[in-house]
Amino acid sequence: MKTVKVLGTGCAKCKSSYDHVLEAIRITGVEASVEKIEDIEEMMRYNVLTTPVLMIDEVAVIKGRVASVAEIAELLKR
């Protein structure tokens, strides 16, 4: 099972990223746990400078932009 985290302050881009992750998981059927992290102190532990950040299995794969559902689906299949 994959672990997916969306780090962001709760802005529109961060919410879109989270929604795109859920849609990509639904489309691909990949088994994954999804966590949305909005706490600034917790985000700083990941050395985040720009949001949103998409992490898959503790690796930051997208930083500072909203990835498309298709792009996230491809990343989940790896």
Residue 30 belongs to what domain range?
2-77
* CATH classification of the domain holding 51: 3.40.30.10
Total count of domains within the chain: 1
Phi/psi at 7 (5° precision) = -100, 130
The string of pLDDT tens digits covering residues 6-25 is 999 999 999 999 999 999 99
Are the beta carbons of 11 and 51 closer than 8 angstroms?
yes
Residues annotated as catalytic are 11, 14
**Total-model pTM:** 0.94
Q: Are the C-beta atoms of residues 55 and 5 closer than 8 Å to each other?
A: yes
pLDDT in tens, 32-67: 999 999 999 999 999 888 999 999 999 999 999 999
3-state helix, strand, coil in the chain (%, to 5): 40, 25, 30
Distance CA 48, CA 54 (A): 11
